[in-house]
Amino acid sequence: MTEHDNLGGCRPSGGGFRAWAPRWLTGWLLVLAGGLAQAQMPAPVAPRPTLRIVGLEVPPLITAGPAGVQGLVVEIVTAAVRQAGYEPRIDIMPWARAYAEVRDQRVDALIPTIRSPQREAELAFGDQPIFVSEQSLFFRNDAAVRWRGDVTAIHGLDLIKLAGALTAAQLDQAIANRQVTVHEAANYALVMRMLAGGRGQVAMAPKLIGQHALRVTGNSHLIQAAEPPLAYQPFYLAFNQAPHLAPARQALDQALARMWADGTVQRIVASHKP
């Protein structure tokens, strides 16, 4: 026996819901259930905008490894850029080319760099450094120089340094005044080889970079970093001056401030010390 319901269908008088529900109603309920399930699914996450960053290979700060570009500065920059809401793409280039690519707005940012009047005129710096380096003088163990932190102790000597690199304010001034004779090298390993070979009496390098160069060239037993350091030099990530990068620069500055405050930067640096 069947009876008509007010939706225009027929249902058995004694059956359950499945027995009498019209097919179109069942289909409508299935569509509704599917829509509710889809509405509860998380929205797809938009990809992070990419920041393209370039720098000179200076182990252990930046170095090419089997897993890509690695190093102390790379770790700090990667963490800060991601905290700021971006994804870094970091490439190694010779210094002159890297600087020109950023200055001419073909690449977003440069690492690591020191502030100077010329660079501040051509690039855009934030307030927070990515790393603070001990800028050290290196002497052979048989050197007669008595170093106590005063750059006048090396006036008249032959100084070996990285080509095109700034050092520390008082030494840069001594170089400009020709109070030291400068010999330049293409990389820090060559700087240390030249010092070991007697091409000069003193070399200048960021301490961690210089110590790494001594290990890879096998000269750690001949040369040491002098104490105290010549200076403590902040290194920065510098953006190009395109207006659309101003929000990224501000966000990165805020991320770096948090990382300095919570000890993240200090922990990364400590993990790379010999």
Q: Where are the domains of the chain?
A: 50-132+234-271, 133-231
Give the pTM: 0.79
Q: Are 184 and 163 in contact (CB under 8 A)?
A: yes
Decide if pLDDT at 24 tops 70.
no
Domain 50-132+234-271, architecture per CATH: 3-Layer(aba) Sandwich (3.40)
What type of residue sits at position 159?
A: L
pLDDT band at 4 (very low <50, low <70, confident <90, very high): very low
Backbone angles phi, psi at 102, to 5 degrees: -75, -50
Instruction: State CA 160 to chain mean position distance.
Output: 27
Listed range (18-32, 114-128, 146-160, 208-222) with the worst mean pLDDT: 18-32
Please report, for residues 93, 107, 110, 163, 214, the alpha-carbon distance to residue 97 in angstroms, rounded to integers and kept in the order given.
7, 11, 11, 14, 27
Decide if pLDDT at 102 tops 50.
yes
Task: State residue 105's pLDDT score.
Answer: 98
Q: CATH number of 133-231: 1.10.10.60, 3.50.50.60, 3.40.190.10, 3.40.50.720?
A: 3.40.190.10
Q: Do domains 50-132+234-271 and 133-231 have the same CATH topology?
A: yes
Which residues make beta-bridge pairs with 92?
A: 55
Q: Is the peptide bond before 60 cis (omega within 30 degrees of 0)?
A: yes
Average pLDDT over residues 212-216: 97
Q: Are 199 and 183 in contact (CB under 8 A)?
A: yes
What type of residue sits at position 228?
A: P
Q: Identify which has the larger pLDDT, 213 or 19.
A: 213
Contacts 24+ apart (CB under 8 A), 112-116: 112/55, 112/58, 112/61, 112/62, 112/73, 112/235, 112/236, 112/237, 113/235, 113/236, 113/237, 113/238, 114/166, 114/233, 114/234, 114/235, 114/236, 115/234, 115/236, 116/166
pLDDT band at 34 (very low <50, low <70, confident <90, very high): low
How many C-beta neighbours within 10 Å does residue 160 have?
Answer: 25
**Angle ∠(162,78,107) on CA atoms, nearest 5:** 65
Decide if pLDDT at 38 tops 70.
no
Closest by Cα among 124, 121, 99, 119 to 110 = 99
Q: Are 212 and 149 in contact (CB under 8 A)?
A: no
Task: State residue 8's pLDDT score.
Answer: 43
Task: State residue 67's pLDDT score.
Answer: 86
Pairing mode of beta strands 109-113, 50-55: parallel
